[in-house]
């Protein structure tokens, strides 16, 4: 048996090897040159950070090529580690589903920054371009999923033999919707309603909610659906759903998905509400109404089962 961190690194290394093998095999089959996107992304990242890549001409190109390759390895190891942490946290997916999800996450982690930096525009890609990108990432996902499934940790944190119930999935959706309105509620609501949560964590949760409620009434706050804000709301909804699943001792895969979907719905729905209310009442009144709805949804999602422990329970692997 191995630890969660080591398993994640092994999974990431296996996935990166599979991805590179498929990429090079495609180059061999089609006789195409190596992609310049990793090097261009590395150069764009350096420029965005205000750093200068030393050298000129071929020397600078060699450095950006090496840096792009290292960034790819880091991406592969990082996503593998996240997959291992997710499994240790109670998220169990069937092999094919896990392969697609992990592969898509790796693909997003690669293509998202390149698109944001203006290195490439996926909207202009051909079908062949998409296939050349998707197939190696699917191989990556399959390798990572195989490793994290085959290597049990020394002590699994949550017993997840029980499938997620319909009630838990529905409550996860509600909690995600609340997190879409007030992102702090995703993690704060399960923490505040748990009977065994310490005073420090409860105080920190209250402060986070109170701070967001105050900040939401201030001018200049970025739109909740903006690229820089929406991911944190999705993560909060998914993370809070994971806490609910851990409290119930059930598989967190579907609740986490429901939490993320709810957060997306709550984010866009809340924005729509504020725009609709803009011509009908002062903005602060609309914000207070939204506060109340978000808190009510969070409580409805988190109060059932609140007497159960949300702490990581140590159990031995049985399979």
Element housing 41 (H / E):
helix 37-48
Domain assignments of the chain as residue spans, ordered by start = 4-158, 166-302
Round to whole Å and give the CA distance between 104 and 262. 20
Which residue is associated with the tokens 């609140």? 306
Measured between alpha carbons, how far is residue 150 from residues 62, 84, 211 in Å? 38, 11, 43
Q: pLDDT by residue (tens digit) across 168-227?
A: 999 999 999 999 999 999 999 998 888 777 888 889 989 999 998 988 888 878 888 887
The pLDDT score that the predictor gives to residue 156 is 56
Lookup: tokens for 124: 């202009």
DSSP count for the chain of H helices, then E strands: 11, 0
Round to whole Å and give the CA distance between 81 and 75. 10
Strand partners, 169: none
Largest CA distance in the chain: 65
pLDDT-flagged residues of the chain (< 70): 1-2, 154-161, 306-319
How far is the first Cα of the chain from the last one, in angstroms, to the nearest whole number? Answer: 12
pTM metric for this prediction? 0.70
The pLDDT score that the predictor gives to residue 296 is 95
Strand partners, 2: 153
Round to whole Å and give the CA distance between 158 and 316. 9
Chain center to CA of 154 = 25
The pLDDT score that the predictor gives to residue 309 is 52
Lookup: tokens for 70: 């290292």
DSSP letter at 122 equals G
Q: pLDDT by residue (tens digit) across 71-86?
A: 999 999 999 999 998 8
């Amino acid at each position: 048996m191995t630890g969660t961190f080591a398993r994640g690194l092994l999974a990431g290394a296996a996935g990166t090897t599979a991805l590179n093998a498929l990429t090079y095999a495609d180059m061999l089959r089609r006789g195409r040159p190596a992609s310049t996107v990793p090097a261009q992304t590395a150069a764009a990242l350096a420029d965005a950070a205000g750093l200068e890549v030393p050298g000129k001409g071929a020397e600078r190109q060699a450095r950006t090529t090496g840096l792009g390759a290292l960034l790819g390895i880091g991406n592969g190891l990082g996503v593998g580690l996240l997959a291992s942490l997710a499994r240790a946290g109670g998220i169990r997916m069937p092999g094919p589903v896990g392969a697609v999800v992990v592969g898509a996450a790796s693909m997003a982690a690669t293509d998202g920054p390149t698109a944001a930096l203006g290195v490439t525009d996926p909207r202009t890609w051909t079908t062949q371009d998409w296939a050349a990108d998707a197939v190696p990432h699917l191989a990556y996902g399959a390798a990572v999923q195989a490793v994290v499934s085959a290597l049990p940790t020394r002590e699994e944190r949550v017993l997840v033999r029980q499938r997620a119930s319909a009630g838990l999935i529905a409550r996860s959706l509600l909690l995600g919707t609340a997190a879409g309105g007030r992102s702090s509620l995703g993690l704060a609501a399960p923490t505040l309603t748990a009977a065994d949560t310490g005073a420090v964590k409860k105080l920190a949760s209250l402060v986070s909610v109170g701070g967001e409620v105050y900040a939401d009434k201030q001018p200049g706050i970025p739109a909740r659906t903006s690229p820089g804000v929406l991911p944190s709301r999705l993560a909060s909804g998914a993370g809070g759903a994971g806490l609910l699943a851990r409290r119930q001792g059930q598989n967190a895969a579907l609740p986490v998905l429901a939490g993320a979907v709810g957060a997306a719905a709550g984010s866009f729905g809340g924005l729509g509400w504020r725009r609709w209310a803009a011509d009908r009442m002062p903005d602060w009144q609309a914000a207070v109404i939204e506060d109340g709805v978000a808190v009510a949804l969070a409580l409805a999602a988190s109060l059932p089962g609140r007497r159960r422990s949300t702490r990581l329970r140590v159990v031995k692997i049985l399979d």
